[in-house]
Amino acid sequence: MKTLKQWLTAIGGATVGWAAWRLFAPEFWQRAPSPFLSTAPLRATALITGASSGIGEAFARRLAREGYDVVLVARRKERLEALAEDLKRRHTIAAQAVVADLSRAEDIRRVADMVAGLANDGQLDLLINNAGFGTVGHFVDVPMSEQMNMLAVHVEASVQLTRAALPGFLRRRRGGIINVASIAGWFPMPGNAMYGASKRYLINFSQSLQAELEGSGVFVQALCPGFTYSEFHDAPAYRAAGFRRDVIPPFLWQTAEQVVEASLNQLGRGEVICIPGLHNRAIVLLGTVTPPAIVRAVRRRAGV
């Protein structure tokens, strides 16, 4: 009996220690200078999809301040070109606007060819697969075209651009790939089933790919933010559903700049998954240890 009690105490202590590490340790390295950025070549380029607003724009502005040239990919031509001009004026870097709709196969191929060219020429240092969107409604009610567009933007584009960058990165033994996922990837998402599923794909893909690339000098990250102040929830689907930011407690929100700072400061430290914010890590940790039956009961009680 004494031995059993000792074992249970040891297991309980180890579990508490592991949970504390997962919660609090990232707070230290997410505030420290980025090892990846600090070793960047003198003239480095980052390509960012979904760059015209939100997290993508925040990445562009942060990297331009670091002296990175940037290739900005998004659908909105005027917004993209205005951002490129602003970055060139402020930071004396090269900024290129590439108008592309990554739900279209031909546009994915065009951007992938650009990524491959830059990487093979030794110019591309960082690829950020950030483009994405959400839908609202039960899977059976949302048009199939929207569901397939989401798969194309979140999964197909990210996979093809990553594959295009890797040969050049591996030859140089340096490169970074950030796949913007979400804490939604850890939870069933009734009313947005494809969103959570596609983000989970990016998390698993990033983890598996980093395992393959161990020791290569190429770092992969799955960035998993929670509620972020951006234009994401201003999309017509969310407006039509009556989404209101003010019903979400303020402590659950982060700025796009906070998300980007955490991501870049963690890149290159050996951790694939980056969850910015203590509150978001607590949500994920609780979600992974809570029995599914309790989660379902809470969801039913909340009417979700």
Could you give the residue numbers annotated as active site?
Answer: 195
Distance CA(253)–CA(248), nearest Å, equals 8
Distance CA(291)–CA(294), nearest Å, equals 6
Query: Are 51 and 73 a contacting pair, CB within 8 Å?
Result: yes
Residues 6+ apart with CB under 8 A from 263: 59, 178, 221, 223, 274, 276
Structure tokens at 84: 């490129």
Burial group, residue 191, by CB count within 10 angstroms (0-12, 13-18, 19+): middle
Alpha-helical regions (H) of the chain? 2-29, 35-38, 54-65, 77-91, 105-120, 144-151, 157-172, 193-212, 236-240, 256-266, 278-289, 292-302
Query: Are 221 and 268 a contacting pair, CB within 8 Å?
Result: no
Structure tokens at 300: 């039913």
In our burial notation (b when 16+ CB lie closer than 10 A, e otherwise), range 57-95 reads bbbbbbbbeeebbbbbbbbeeebbbebbeebbeebebeb
| Helix, strand or coil, per DSSP, at residue 259 | helix
Distance CA(227)–CA(279), nearest Å, equals 11
Structure tokens at 108: 């994915």
